[in-house]
């Protein structure tokens, strides 16, 4: 049965009693205390226009606030304007219902009001507050209830901050830098909120469309409290319905309702923002169709009821049940409390943890992380307090900072609870220290998703046989199919899916799905961004993509399916608060085959531009870094001109231009296109920005990546510029010294071992070009470097890091000795 709007309102208010309640007060909250008429024209803009026209004695009156404001400023200047507003917008008394509204345990209060009505009401309610002007630092830590005046606060204005603080309509709103930073905080609070209640706000006064882009996420938890009326203004109602649910009960009735609610027992469920509770699906009652199996393999769109059916009946008629599931269940019985599944993209980790969640949910509550917020540690503590044996699932765990991940794992080491982590093997490359810290925990177990065993291979053969048009597989007999999986695909599910998802049959299916719709420019960019994030290896939250693209991303994706008559657009779809696409290998296939290089660059550049201007959480910082990487871009975009345009556009943003690693990425792009002179200049710029970073922050910059690139770059110059004599000797000597310097530092990674291969290869090719005595010297120091690398390779983390380093070292030794 569908829940009524008011029942949903009550449910969310109850959830917010433990936190996550945002109150937004518009002009209607304090209008009667300021002697403004409470009608549909009420709003800060209308109030100011009336006040300014009266002060100007303007006849006929101005109808445009900006014009009235400019005229009054010419007359009074800053000081006069400030005095006028301070005198008009100071409140001495508030009503009892204004006070009662603040007795609810709101987490944050925002207002577009200049006045001090909220502060006086809080004082009457004996609630301690931090009153914040929009000129204050948005990153400020508050210990009391924060009341944030987005348009400015009369009691904090002075002649120095008035011009930068006082918002007079939409035009000035967009010009104030600090106000824009407060909007970032506002968006984050709304993302995490259980409920957002707007009191005395007509949805036209404050230009929310310029502040909130994830209206899909807001709409279900936003409620507007309007004055009682026999007939609601249709324009106000329509505007509010675009953002949430309007109620015409009035401030007084709402305050009474809150008082009654607080007299009842609060719910016992933990506060959830970063996590959601896993609800197991009912097992399907019918066998899976070929179409359902194809959708799982080709579109990465699982039918959870069919997954449940396989698990309940202990069959693999819909998906490959991995032996790792039995391994982890056994490990949990033996006392393991922290589990890490790692593997390469498309290794089946997401399906595996869904299977695990289904198994675990019979004996303990299971929570899955959707998006990590700043208060994730408090949230986890609340979950564990509520249910000590709870199981938490965090995919792509190394997206979190090492410190935060360590804090989370410490809560589970030796506890009743269970922490299930996943990571892509390539992600471990970025965080070997994080993996090492996990290994130090007594109840930790790492379970790599290794080669398919015989049973899994047989299951894969049966399932893949039902992908009707895949000629590369269906043309084989049973033995040939087994050899195809075991030998051609190396018994690796990612290798198998790479063959499948890049096949002509699947490419045609993707093309057919894409051609179902004629996409607008904005829709094309939305689809490209979702596929590009999937190519990186993520399913992005709707709020992230909405804020990064500055459009209501969820609404765009929903409309695509609506245009198909309710049928899901399978290339890009919304699953709750997450945008899902085809598997990452398929996403790369679509981007390569369906979009021009220029389309991809046009979609990514504005996102990077927006992300550069905001304070970024762990996930956003990872996406920001990944979106700038040449190695990721070059998998999709091949045109050197478009690659250059990508970096040239990024350079226009100061926050990006000052990053040493931005110049490193552009250097790599120039190396790839053979423009070594320019590549050298960009690398030197990277070093200069590193030095400037150290001067600006007083912190040491880790030069390892720059040094490694210089070592590799020197060998590329040797190869392409035919260096001889002293120049050749100098290039080898510096490259070897830089590589040894990197290897001697703590926490070594695999890439200097790969540099040794390049040095060995070039030494082999250029041996006859050295001057007398130079070759023996280089041979000696290169031998010393290899010997030292053989000692250091044992320090690297197991798995991806160690495997890559050992493989590179074996190749280097074979080529040199």
pLDDT score of 567: 84
Question: Vertex 450, ends 447 and 455: CA angle to 5°?
Answer: 110
Contact (Cβ atoms closer than 8 angstroms) between residue 52 and residue 113 = no
In the predicted structure, residue 230 carries a pLDDT above the cut 60:
yes
In the predicted structure, residue 105 carries a pLDDT above the cut 50:
yes
DSSP assignment string, 541-575: BHHHHHHHHTS-HHHHHHHHHHHTTT---SSEEEE
DSSP conformation class of 154: G
How would residue 537 be classed by pLDDT, with cut points 50, 70 and 90? confident
In the predicted structure, residue 164 carries a pLDDT above the cut 90:
no
> Which whole number is the average pLDDT over 728-755?
92
In the predicted structure, residue 206 carries a pLDDT above the cut 90:
no
pLDDT score of 431: 55
> Which whole number is the average pLDDT over 162-191?
74
The SS3 call for residue 446 is strand
How would residue 433 be classed by pLDDT, with cut points 50, 70 and 90? low
Q: What integer best gives the mean pLDDT of the chain?
A: 88
pLDDT score of 207: 56
Q: What is the pLDDT of residues 550-598, one digit of tens each?
A: 888 988 999 998 898 878 899 999 988 889 999 999 999 999 999 999 9
> Which whole number is the average pLDDT over 135-146?
88
CA atoms within 13 A on the CB side of 115: 28
pLDDT score of 209: 57
Residue 295 CA to residue 557 CA, distance in Å, equals: 19
How would residue 90 be classed by pLDDT, with cut points 50, 70 and 90? confident
Q: What is the pLDDT of residues 628-686, one digit of tens each?
A: 999 999 999 999 999 999 999 999 999 999 999 999 999 999 999 999 999 999 999 99
The SS3 call for residue 30 is coil
In the predicted structure, residue 516 carries a pLDDT above the cut 90:
yes
Burial of 685 (0-12, 13-18, 19+ CB in 10 A): middle
How many CB atoms are closer than 10 A to CB 26?
25
Residue 85 phi/psi, 5-degree rounding, is: -70, -40
DSSP assignment string, 453-521: -HHHHHHHHHHHTT-TT-HHHHTS-HHHHHHIIIIITTT-HHHHHHHHHTSHHHHHHHHHHHTTS---H
Residue 572 phi/psi, 5-degree rounding, is: -140, 125
In the predicted structure, residue 407 carries a pLDDT above the cut 50:
yes
Instruction: Give the closest residue to 407 by CA, choosing from 376, 449, 445, 368.
Output: 376
Q: What is the pLDDT of residues 1-29, one digit of tens each?
A: 567 889 999 999 998 998 889 999 988 88
pLDDT score of 183: 80
Residue 199, beta-bridge partner list: 25, 225
Residue 247, beta-bridge partner list: 225
Render the burial of 557-577: b for 16+ CB within 10 Å, e for the rest. Answer: bbbbbeeeeeebbbbbbbeeb
pLDDT score of 429: 47
DSSP conformation class of 795: G
DSSP conformation class of 399: G
> Which whole number is the average pLDDT over 321-335?
93
pLDDT score of 432: 58
pLDDT score of 746: 82
Share of the chain above pLDDT 90, in %: 59
Reported residue count of the chain is 817
Contact (Cβ atoms closer than 8 angstroms) between residue 731 and residue 723 = yes
How would residue 165 be classed by pLDDT, with cut points 50, 70 and 90? confident
pLDDT score of 426: 60
pLDDT score of 622: 86
- Quote the pTM value: 0.83
DSSP conformation class of 798: T
pLDDT score of 428: 46
> Which whole number is the average pLDDT over 735-746?
93
Q: What's the token pair of residue 448?
A: 């790599």
Residue 664 CA to residue 708 CA, distance in Å, equals: 10
Cβ neighbours for 698, distance < 8 A, ≥ 6 positions apart: none
Alpha carbon 704 to chain centroid, angstroms = 27
Per the model's pLDDT, the better-predicted residue between 47 and 589 turns out to be 589
Per the model's pLDDT, the better-predicted residue between 472 and 279 turns out to be 279
In the predicted structure, residue 204 carries a pLDDT above the cut 60:
no
Per the model's pLDDT, the better-predicted residue between 605 and 46 turns out to be 605
DSSP conformation class of 202: -
How would residue 172 be classed by pLDDT, with cut points 50, 70 and 90? low
Residue 494 CA to residue 505 CA, distance in Å, equals: 18
How would residue 424 be classed by pLDDT, with cut points 50, 70 and 90? confident
How would residue 102 be classed by pLDDT, with cut points 50, 70 and 90? very high
In the predicted structure, residue 400 carries a pLDDT above the cut 90:
no
pLDDT score of 211: 66
Inter-residue long-range contacts of 703-707, CB under 8 Å, 24+ positions, other chains counted: 704/742, 704/745, 704/749, 705/661, 705/664, 705/751, 706/660, 706/664, 707/738, 707/741, 707/742
């Amino acid at each position: 049965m569908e829940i009524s709007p008011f029942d949903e309102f009550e449910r969310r208010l109850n959830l917010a009693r433990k936190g996550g309640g945002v109150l937004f007060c518009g002009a209607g909250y304090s209008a009667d205390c300021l002697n403004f008429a409470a009608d549909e024209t009420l709003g800060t803009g209308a109030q100011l226009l009336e006040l300014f026209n009266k002060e100007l004695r303007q006849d006929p009156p101005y109808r445009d606030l900006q014009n009235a404001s400019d005229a009054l400023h010419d007359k009074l200047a800053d000081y006069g304007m400030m005095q006028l507003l301070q005198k008009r917008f100071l409140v001495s008394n508030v009503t009892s219902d204004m006070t009662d509204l603040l007795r609810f345990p709101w987490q944050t209060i925002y207002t577009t009001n200049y006045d001090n009505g909220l502060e006086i009401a809080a004082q009457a309610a004996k609630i301690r507050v931090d009153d914040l002007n929009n000129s204050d630092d948005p990153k400020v830590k508050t210990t009391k209830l924060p009341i944030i005046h987005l348009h400015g606060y009369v009691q904090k204005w002075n002649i120095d901050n008035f011009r930068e603080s006082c918002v007079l309509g939409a035009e000035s709103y967009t010009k104030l830098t600090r106000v824009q930073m407060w909007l970032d905080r506002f968006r984050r609070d709304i993302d995490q909120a259980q409920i957002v209640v707007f009191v005395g706000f007509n949805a036209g006064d404050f230009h929310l469309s310029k502040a909130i882009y994830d209206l899909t996420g807001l709409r279900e938890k936003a409620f507007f409290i309007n004055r009682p009326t026999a007939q609601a203004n249709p324009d106000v109602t329509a505007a509010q319905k675009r953002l949430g649910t309007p109620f015409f009960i009035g401030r007084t009735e709402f305050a009474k309702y809150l008082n009654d609610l607080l007299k009842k027992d609060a719910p016992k469920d933990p506060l959830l923002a970063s996590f959601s509770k896993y609800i197991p699906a009912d097992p399907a009652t019918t066998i899976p169709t070929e179409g359902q199996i194809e959708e799982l393999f080709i579109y990465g769109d699982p039918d959870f009821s069919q997954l449940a059916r396989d698990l309940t009946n202990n069959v693999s008629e819909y998906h490959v049940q991995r032996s790792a599931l039995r391994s982890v269940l056994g490990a949990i019985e033996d006392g393991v409390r922290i589990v890490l599944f790692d593997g390469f993209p498309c290794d089946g980790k997401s399906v595996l943890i869904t299977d695990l969640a289904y198994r675990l949910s019979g004996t303990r509550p299971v929570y899955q992380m959707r998006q990590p917020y700043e208060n994730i540690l408090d949230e986890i503590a609340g979950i564990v307090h509520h249910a000590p044996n709870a199981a938490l699932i965090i995919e792509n765990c190394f997206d979190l900072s090492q410190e935060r991940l360590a804090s989370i794992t410490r809560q589970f080491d030796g506890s009743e609870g269970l922490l299930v982590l996943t990571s892509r093997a390539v992600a471990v490359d970025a965080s070997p220290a994080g993996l090492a810290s996990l290994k130090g925990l007594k109840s930790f177990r790492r379970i790599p998703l290794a080669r398919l065993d015989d049973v899994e291979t047989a299951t894969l053969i049966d399932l893949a046989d039902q992908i009707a048009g895949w000629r590369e597989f269906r043309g084989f007999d049973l033995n040939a199919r087994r050899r195809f999986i075991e030998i051609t695909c190396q018994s690796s599910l990612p290798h198998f899916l790479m063959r499948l998802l890049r096949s002509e049959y699947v490419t045609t299916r993707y093309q057919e799905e894409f051609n179902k719709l004629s996409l607008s420019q904005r829709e094309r960019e939305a689809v490209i961004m979702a596929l590009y994030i999937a190519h990186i290896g993520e399913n992005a939250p709707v709020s992230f993509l909405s804020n990064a693209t500055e459009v209501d991303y969820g609404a765009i994706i929903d409309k695509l399916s609506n245009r198909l008559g309710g049928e899901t657009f399978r290339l890009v779809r919304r699953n709750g608060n997450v945008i899902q696409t085809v598997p990452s290998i398929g996403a790369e296939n679509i981007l390569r085959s369906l979009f021009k290089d220029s389309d991809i660059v046009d979609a990514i550049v504005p996102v990077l531009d927006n992300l550069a201007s905001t304070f970024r959480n762990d996930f956003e910082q990872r996406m920001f870094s990944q979106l700038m990487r040449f190695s990721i871009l070059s998998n999709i975009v091949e045109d050197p001109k478009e690659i250059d345009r990508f970096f040239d556009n990024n350079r226009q943003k100061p926050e990006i231009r000052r990053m040493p690693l931005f110049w490193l990425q552009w250097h790599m792009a120039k190396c790839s296109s053979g423009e070594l002179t320019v590549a050298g200049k960009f690398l030197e710029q990277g070093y200069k920005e590193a030095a400037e970073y150290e001067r600006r922050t007083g912190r040491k910059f880790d030069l390892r990546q720059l040094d490694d690139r210089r070592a590799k770059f020197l060998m590329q110059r040797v190869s392409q510029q035919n260096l001889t004599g002293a120049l050749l000797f100098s290039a080898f000597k510096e490259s070897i010294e830089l590589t040894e310097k990197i290897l001697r530092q703590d926490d070594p990674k695999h890439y200097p071992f790969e540099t040794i291969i390049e040095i060995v290869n070039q030494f082999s090719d250029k041996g006859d070009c050295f001057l007398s005595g130079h070759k023996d010297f280089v041979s000696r120091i290169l031998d010393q470097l290899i010997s030292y690398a053989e000692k250091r390779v044992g320090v690297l983390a197991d798995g991806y890091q160690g495997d890559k380093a050992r493989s590179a070292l074996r190749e280097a030794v074979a080529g040199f000795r």
